């Protein structure tokens, strides 16, 4: 990690702090929250923010602060899990594709182009429609659109790396294809893949929230920011705090990760001055 | 030029075939009887039998696929068991609504996003630049559904200026259009700024300044001309963003469009509608990409040789 370069950019620092705070909050959720996120108390339903409940309570009298905290766990796990899945499939595919070329490369890249021609949310909806609503199909629905992105990226980097002298030197010394790919090419993919993965996590969290909001992702009673917002709609007039906090948490998380991604991109490639957006 | 257009046409055709295969397989590779999946759980034995016959479900998959495609091409998209109507009619009523919303959102993104990017680039590193870039990063991070709810809270419930849901008048149009345009607006502002900053450092811009042209002319005649074509391409490529925004926006504001139709269909596992809706959106995106590429090829001769 290029920690110093990240710390040098102010927005990168802000992003890093935001991500660390949210991650720590997610890990320590059971300690920090003073209420059980599932504990109902109908007498305290739709209460405003106060001493007892820092972010108020929802329609079932559950503590919003606790639910927002535990929601961070759900969102971060889905984001990291889905992107990890996409990365594990996409990077080896792209690496092999760029390294060996030929028919395999041609076919793999055609399929990748096809998947990229599909809007992300639409493909996710199609996958959820087929496999049913649930956390597993949500993970797959978010991971699959990431596969061609990582494959394309890994392939492009591989193509430029195998031109380099030290790869030829390795080959001259009798290194096998597997060894060259693992020892010479793969380490060079870490930079671009890390940058893309960061933006992908932000996008994954947004899409997971969106699908859950539509009732196609994480379902209640599991505390998830998107589904909390969907439930809060009914009580918008009387309890606007139910809209404010989960949305704020979601936006802050995605913003923090995007800022971190920008800083990472500049750290790995100083020529880059943020030409394209993340997500 | 002709060869370029022809090759892009072939590419688009191949993409369309691929997409149709994907949409077809979505139903046929799922565990369970496709006839029951398509007909829905409440379908009678008679209805299931008709579906089985119409799609030839005892035939090999490629035959079934060709049969399905020929039905689709003739406009026979099957029956929606959720709405109890022909899927074709469902699409015919919802598609124009989504198109209008997308056009409005896109217009807003272009008319606000590009000027914001230009202003930020011209006043690089100033407070204005900082504000525009901050807004742009925020715009890409704020979830559409949250923004939509906040707007409803403020403009519909508190101020009571605009309706919170529905469709038909320009008041109904405003909030959904803003919500759909957000992500694209933020992206356009950011891209325009980044490219404008680079172009303003180019030699020919310095030459233009050196020969005493007014700054306004340098910026809008010389610099902007180079910036616009790639920005226009991105607008086309990012049409998917608009669609994505529309699926959620239409649901929040109860806009009777294609996106909301697909979401409803998924909730009811209404597969004929899902298939047709997804297919229609994908076809639109492919044709828009094709149109943009051809247009770009006309404007910039270098593209044809890539």
Q: Which two tokens stand for residue B271?
A: 């597969």
- First and final C-alpha spacing in chain A: 21
pLDDT band at B303 (very low <50, low <70, confident <90, very high): low
| SS3 (DSSP) at A151 | helix
Confidence band, pLDDT 50/70/90 cuts, at residue A273:
very low
Q: Same structural domain for residues B154 and B116?
A: yes
Cβ atoms B149, A233 nearer than 8 A: yes
Does residue B50 share a domain with residue B177? Answer: no
- Residues B134-160 have pLDDT tens digits of 888 888 889 989 999 999 888 888 888
| Max Cα distance, chain A (Å) | 77
- What tokens appear for B4 in the block? 């370029």
Q: Does residue B281 surpass a pLDDT of 80?
A: yes
Indicate whether B40 and B97 sit together in one domain: no
Beta bridge partners of A256: none
**Who contacts B142 (Cβ-Cβ below 8 Å, separation ≥6)?**
A251, A254, A255, B182
Instruction: Please indicate, yes or no, if residue B6 is contained in any of the structural domains.
Output: yes
**B84 in a structural domain:** no
Q: Do both B165 and B265 map to the same domain?
A: yes
Q: Which ranges in chain B belong to alpha helices (H)? A: 2-28, 34-39, 45-55, 61-73, 87-122, 127-141, 144-151, 170-199, 203-210, 215-217, 224-237, 239-252, 258-267, 271-299
Residue B304: inside a domain: no
H/E stretch holding B85 reads: strand B85-86
CATH code of residue B270: 1.10.3720.10
Asked if residue A90 has pLDDT above 90, the reply is: yes
The 10s digit of each residue's pLDDT in B196-218 is 888 888 888 888 888 888 888 78
Residues B175, B159: Cα–Cα separation, whole Å: 13
In a domain, residue B217? The reply is yes
> Residues of B numbered 237-256 whose beta carbons fall under 8 angstroms of chain A's beta carbons: which are they?
240-241, 243-244, 247-248, 251
pTM of the model: 0.86
ipTM over 0.95: no
Q: Of A111, A214, A275, which is closest to B248 when you measure between CB atoms?
A: A214
Please state, in angstroms and rounded to a whole number, the distance separating the CA atoms of residues B291 and B238: 13
Asked whether residue B177 is assigned to any structural domain, the reply reads yes
Q: CB–CB of B244 and A121 under 8 A?
A: yes
Residue in chain B closest to A259 (alpha carbons) equals: B137
Tell me if residue A169 falls in helix, strand or coil.
helix
Comparing CB atoms, the residue among A126, A214, A237 nearest residue B157 is: A237
User: Is it true that domain A2-36+56-275 has CATH number 1.10.3720.10?
Assistant: yes
B57 and B165 part of one domain? no
**Are residue B41 and residue B154 in the same domain, yes or no?**
no
Q: Is residue B79 situated within a structural domain?
A: no
Q: Which pLDDT band, with edges at 50, 70 and 90, does B301 fall under?
A: low
The highest-confidence range among A49-63, A195-209, B128-142, by mean pLDDT, is: A195-209
C-alpha pair distances (Å), B133 with each of A242, A257, B126, B235: 29, 16, 11, 19
| B69 and B98 within one domain | no
Q: With beta carbons less than 8 A apart as the criterion, state whether B299 and A147 touch.
A: no
CB-nearest partner of B286 from A117, A130, A237: A117
B263 vs A contacts (CB less than 8 Å): 125, 214, 216
Whether residues B118 and B263 share a domain: the answer is yes
Q: Which of B73, B106, B124 is the last residue of a domain?
A: B73
Q: How many domains are there within chain B? A: 2
Do residues A38 and A57 touch, judged by C-beta distance below 8 A? Answer: no
Range of the domain at B212: 89-299
Examine the domain organization and report whether B35 and B103 are in the same domain. no
Q: Which residue, B40, B73, B106, sits at the end of a domain?
A: B73
| B58 and B201 share one domain | no
Residues of chain A contacting residue B251, judged by C-beta atoms under 8 Å apart: 214
Domain check: are B189 and B230 in the same one?
yes
Average per-residue pLDDT in chain A? 85
Instruction: Please indicate, yes or no, if residue B78 is contained in any of the structural domains.
Output: no
Q: Which of A241, A197, A205 is nearest to A226 (CA)?
A: A205
Considering only the beta carbons, identify the residue of B153, B243, B271 that sits closest to A236.
B153
SS3 (DSSP) at B79: strand
Question: In this structure, is the dihedral angle defined by the CA atoms of residues B118, B121, B127 and B132, taken in order, positive or negative?
Answer: positive
Distance of CA B288 to the CA centre of its chain: 9
Gyration radius of chain A over CA positions: 22
- The answer to whether residue B53 is domain-embedded is yes
pLDDT class of A59 with cuts at 50, 70, 90: confident
Task: Give A15's contacts (C-beta < 8 A, 6+ positions apart).
Answer: A255, A256, A257, A258, A259, A260, A261, A262, A263
* Mean pLDDT, range B61-89, rounded to an integer: 84
Please give the average per-residue pLDDT across A32-61, as a whole number: 76
The whole-number average pLDDT for the span A143-149 is 92
Q: Same domain, yes or no, for B51 and B129? A: no
Residue B275: C-alpha distances to residues A54, A151, B37, B47, B63 (Å): 45, 27, 12, 19, 18
Q: Does B199 touch chain A (CB under 8 A)?
A: no
Q: Which residue out of B40, B136, B141, B271 would a mutagenesis test of the A interface target, given it has the greatest number of A Cβ atoms within 10 Å? A: B141
User: How many percent of chain A have pLDDT more than 70?
Assistant: 94
Give the residue-averaged pLDDT of B120-126. Answer: 87
């Amino acid at each position: 990690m290029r920690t110093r370069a990240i710390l040098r950019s102010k927005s990168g620092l802000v992003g890093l702090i935001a991500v660390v705070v949210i991650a720590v909050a997610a890990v320590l959720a059971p300690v920090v929250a003073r209420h059980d996120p599932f504990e109902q108390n109908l007498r305290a339903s739709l209460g405003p923010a106060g001493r007892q409940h820092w972010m108020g309570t929802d329609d079932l009298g559950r503590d919003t602060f606790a639910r927002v905290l535990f929601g961070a766990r759900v969102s971060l796990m889905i984001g990291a899990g889905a992107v990890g899945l996409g990365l594990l499939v996409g990077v080896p595919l792209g690496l092999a594709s760029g390294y060996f070329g030929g028919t395999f490369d041609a076919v793999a890249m055609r399929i990748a182009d096809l998947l990229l021609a599909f809007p992300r949310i639409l493909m996710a909806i199609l996958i959820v429609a087929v496999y049913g609503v649930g956390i597993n199909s949500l993970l797959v629905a978010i991971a699959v659109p990431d596969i061609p992105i990582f494959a394309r990226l890994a392939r492009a980097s591989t193509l430029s790396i195998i031109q380099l002298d030290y790869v030829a030197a390795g080959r001259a010394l009798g290194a096998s294809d597997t060894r060259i790919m693992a020892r010479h090419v793969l380490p060079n993919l870490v930079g671009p893949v890390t940058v893309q993965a960061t933006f992908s996590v932000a996008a994954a969290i947004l899409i997971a929230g969106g699908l859950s909001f539509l009732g196609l992702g994480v379902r209640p009673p599991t505390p998830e920011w998107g589904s909390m917002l969907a439930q809060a709609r009914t009580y918008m007039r009387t309890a606007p705090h139910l809209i404010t906090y989960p949305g704020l948490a979601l936006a802050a998380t995605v913003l923090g990760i995007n800022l971190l991604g920008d800083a990472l991109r500049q750290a790995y490639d100083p020529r880059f001055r943020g030409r394209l957006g993340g997500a | 030029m002709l060869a370029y257009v022809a090759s892009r046409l072939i590419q688009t055709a191949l993409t369309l075939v691929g997409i149709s295969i994907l949409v077809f397989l979505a139903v046929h590779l799922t565990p369970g009887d496709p006839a029951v999946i398509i007909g829905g759980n409440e379908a009678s034995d008679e209805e299931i039998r008709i579906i089985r016959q119409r799609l030839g479900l005892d035939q090999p998959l490629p035959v079934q696929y060709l049969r399905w495609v020929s039905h689709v091409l003739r406009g026979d998209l099957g029956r929606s068991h959720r709405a109890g109507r022909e899927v074709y009619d469902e699409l015919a009523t919802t598609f124009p609504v989504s198109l209008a919303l997308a056009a409005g959102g896109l217009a807003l993104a272009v008319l606000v996003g590009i000027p914001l990017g230009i202003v930020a680039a011209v006043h690089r590193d100033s407070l204005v630049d900082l504000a525009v870039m901050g807004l742009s990063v925020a715009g890409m991070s704020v979830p559409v559904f949250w923004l939509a709810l906040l707007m409803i809270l403020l403009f519909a419930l508190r101020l009571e200026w605009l309706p919170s849901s529905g469709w038909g008048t320009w008041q109904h149009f405003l909030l959904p259009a803003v919500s759909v345009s957000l992500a694209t607006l933020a992206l356009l502002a950011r891209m325009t700024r980044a490219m404008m900053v680079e172009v303003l450092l180019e030699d020919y811009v310095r030459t233009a300044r050196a020969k005493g042209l007014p700054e306004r002319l340098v910026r809008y005649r010389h610099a902007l001309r180079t910036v616009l074509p790639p920005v226009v391409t991105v607008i086309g490529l990012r049409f998917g963003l608009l669609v994505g925004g529309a699926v959620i926006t239409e649901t929040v504001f109860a806009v009777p469009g294609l996106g909301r139709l697909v979401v409803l269909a998924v909730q009811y596992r209404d597969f004929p509608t899902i298939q047709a809706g997804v297919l229609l959106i994908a076809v639109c995106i492919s044709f828009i990409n094709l149109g943009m590429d051809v247009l770009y090829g006309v404007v910039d001769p270098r593209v044809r040789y890539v």
